[in-house]
Structure 1
Amino acid sequence: MNKAIYALISLGLLLILSATAQEFTLDIFGNANGDDLIDEEDISYLQGILDGENEKTDLSDANNDGKVDENDIDQIEQIIQGTESEIYYIDAFGNSSRVKHPLERIVLVYDNTAEIIRILGAEERVVGVDSEGSSGAIGKYPTYFPQFIQTASIGNRNDCDVEAILKLHPDAIIIGTKTGCPYLEEKLMGSDIDVVYLETWSKGTPSLFTLAYMLDEVDRALEYQEWKDGYLDMVAERVATIPEGERVKVFVDRPGNTTVVRGSGYSEAIELAGGINIAADLADSLRVDAGISSKNTLPPVETEWVLEQNPDAIIGLSWNGGYEVDDESVLKERYDEIMGTAGFGETNAGKNGRIYVTYFINTLGAGDHISVLYFAKWLYPDLFGDLDPEQVHQEYIDRFQNVDYDLKEHGAFVYPPMS
């Protein structure tokens, strides 16, 4: 679909989405009014700036030349039509960056990045992937990413193979984490290859739309977001009926005697599902006590503190599991570990059989809403009696990941299994 067409229908699509949908700012210059799309409203807002009626915004300088003028209106019109030759955006480090448009040949780093590319239907543009090293390398998941089995490798994301990248002649390399491919921009200096850093693992939806503009696939992003927000809105509407005093108190047990606090994707998923993360503000108190200025969203936690809070439910994160594993015993091992923690059996969660385990990746990336559905079903089984999270998960795989994968036969994502 041409951008001119989606610009005409975007208002209608947005009216379908309720106020409970996930909100974000599209960090592309030209998004003058600071919402999640670039459309005619941005032209109107920018004209208001030129007429002295609106305040200048951080993203109103569409061509990033240091001034806001008629040329920025021209750039926005080109973005809407899909005819711009380059896009300026805010990268994972908070810096303004430039990328050529549209991207026809791309190299991908990090599995969450590959998931977004499949949502956008741009798999055929991928000419290289990371395939070695730590968890998250695309090539390490041949069952889930069969499209990329024969794709050229650029090695380990901790030290990406520059020679391999150059031989592929990509327009850009898209890196889904700030720590990936260190110093790559310097190493590629003099080439015509753009390096795009986005936090696809922790900011799935914003990254989805940023890449949609770079790839000229905004219509696909809108279709996906409408589907996703339909489920999130349903959850929000139902949990809104639960009085604050009756909400389930949840402890998230992260491996290594750590937990999650407000500001992490894990905590957000608990909150969206209607739960109360008992450790939501724990990092603030620990920071004050230690005299630390920065916030750790994955702080250490003492068992005694958890027992004092007496959570109604415990959700454990497991590093093991996922699409490449068919044996749920890896999740049961984590479950048994949590059950064996001294005192946990005497908490409300332990007494009432409300200890659960989820594969950690469920809560990350563009498909993060799937974990919200599993959590909502766990926390409020009566309220969500008609919800089948696994069915939604399967729809995500079939409709938006374009891969032949049956969750009834493969994968290990939650424990105990949902009946």
Structure 2
Amino acid sequence: MFSLRSILGALSLAAALLVAISPARAEKVAVTDVLGRKVEVETPVRRVILGEGRQMYFVAALDRDEPFKRVVGWRDDLPKADPDNYKAYLARYPGIAKLPTFGGMKEGAFDIEQAIALKPDVLLLNVEAKIASDEASLVEKLAAVGIPVVYVDFREKPFQNTEPSMRLIGKLFGKEAIAEDFIAFRAAEIARITQRLAKAPNLKKPVVMIERAGGYSDDCCMSFGNENFGKMVEIAGGRNLAADLIPGTFGTVNAEAVVAANPEVVIVTGGNWSAYVPNGAWVGLGPGSDLSEARRRLAALAKRPAFVQTQAVRNGRVHAIWHQFYNSPYQFVAIQEIATWLHPELFKDIDAAATLKTLHERFLPLPYEPGYWVTVESRLGQ
């Protein structure tokens, strides 16, 4: 016969074992998003809607073994804006083809009823969706059914908001240690440039024209103000031509202003935009891109009236770089490559491709493929 004490002891042991093998219970915590909003979310979140597919650039680093395990829906921009990375993810994780997709908030194409039906623990939105989401009363409608919304930012003010965004998503996912590891890696790689520049005597900073998505349309010239790629140029030791011409992050510089400024370096951002502008003159860059074709297209863009007479073209200092560095926490790689273009002697030992490869090896589920930048290797003005 078993004694009452032995039975109670066995029951206590069984209960303890059940607790030990059960998954951790979600805990409601207050987080602060990049807009300063206090939001209560049950963490770690298990069901997430990505308000932009390119948020996977960081989400994949947090859940490297199963990067889509929490994603129950996402905006449809990744296969359109970055089809090369999308195809690589699709080949490895074919199930993503069945993930519910959303249009953009700014386009009025976000389906609120579909979002509610997916029962997410949180919706991640980029800050540029804020005005449209306010107009649609999105936050209030989702709050009424217990779905919180948090805002992140890797594009509008990335040098203010990238680290807080990474910390926020890391906290939501219960992956704070990985987020901090990534943040430290990013900061150290930027410091390799900034510390050396700070010690360089009599540094001459070349004037740089950054053309945003050159060849995407026939117009010239979209560019950046004091943030995003404009800030990357400054951090890399250059002077952004458009810094005093564009008051915000994004804007346009007319061709006459480019000619008058006579930039010493021209950098065009490029990507695979075949889904948006299949016959465009854009420079196709990204993982596995055809760099010979990219170089040919860049050379053609350099012959437009705004650029053809500039010092940059005459001296063979015309470059193109992957556009999506502007919308991911990978900006540090772009800073390194730009620094080698602006100050080749000072940074002759910097290998941005090796840095990008290390990023993939340490944090990302996809292997590194080259194809992220290209240079016109001749003096087109001669």
TM-score by length of 2: 0.73
Change (3 A) 1:148 1:322: farther
Deviations 1:74-94 (A, max 9, x none): xxxxxxxx99522131354x5
Which residue is equivalent to 1:317?
269
Please tell me whether residue 174 in structure 1 is matched to residue 124 in structure 2: yes
Alignment counterpart, residue 306 of structure 1, candidates 258, 271, 280: 258
Deviations 1:47-80 (A, max 9, x none): xxxxxxxxxxxxxxxxxxxxxxxxxxxxxxxxxx
Shift of 1:332: 3.0
Shift of 1:296: 3.6
CA distance in 2, matches of 1:186, 1:322: 40
CA distance in 2, matches of 1:190, 1:399: 40
1:131 counterpart letter in structure 2:
D
Larger Rg: 2
Question: What pairs up with 1:254-293 in 2 under 5 angstroms?
Answer: 254=212, 255=214, 256-283=219-246
Alignment counterpart, residue 317 of structure 2, candidates 351, 354, 364: 354
Shift of 1:379: 1.2
Equivalent pair of 1:390/1:407 in contact (CA under 8 Å): no
1:302 counterpart letter in structure 2:
N
CA distance in 1, matches of 2:184, 2:287: 29
CA distance in 1, matches of 2:127, 2:79: 13
Which residue is equivalent to 1:119?
61
Alignment counterpart, residue 29 of structure 2, candidates 86, 109, 112: 86
Which residue is equivalent to 1:373?
336
Percentage of identical aligned residues: 22
2:238 counterpart letter in structure 1:
G
CA RMSD of aligned residues (A): 3.1
Question: What are the ranges of 5 or more consecutive residues in structure 1 without an aligned counterpart?
Answer: 1-81, 284-294
Equivalent pair of 2:48/2:120 in contact (CA under 8 Å): yes
187-196 vs 355-364, greater mean Cα deviation: 187-196
Q: Which has the higher contact order (CA 8 A, sep 6+)?
A: 2
CA distance in 1, matches of 2:116, 2:94: 20
Which residue is equivalent to 2:374?
415
2:337 counterpart letter in structure 1:
Y
303-312 vs 351-360, greater mean Cα deviation: 303-312
TM-score by length of 1: 0.67
Question: What pairs up with 1:63-74 in 2 under 5 angstroms?
Answer: none
Please tell me whether residue 193 in structure 1 is matched to residue 132 in structure 2: no
Which residue is equivalent to 1:390?
353
Change (3 A) 1:323 1:148: farther
Alignment counterpart, residue 156 of structure 1, candidates 103, 106, 128: 103
Secondary structure in 2 aligned to 1:341? coil
CA distance in 2, matches of 1:226, 1:140: 25
Equivalent pair of 1:129/1:139 in contact (CA under 8 Å): no
Equivalent pair of 1:139/1:149 in contact (CA under 8 Å): no
Shift of 1:352: 1.3
Alignment counterpart, residue 225 of structure 1, candidates 183, 189, 197: 183
Secondary structure in 1 aligned to 2:199? coil
Please tell me whether residue 108 in structure 1 is matched to residue 50 in structure 2: yes
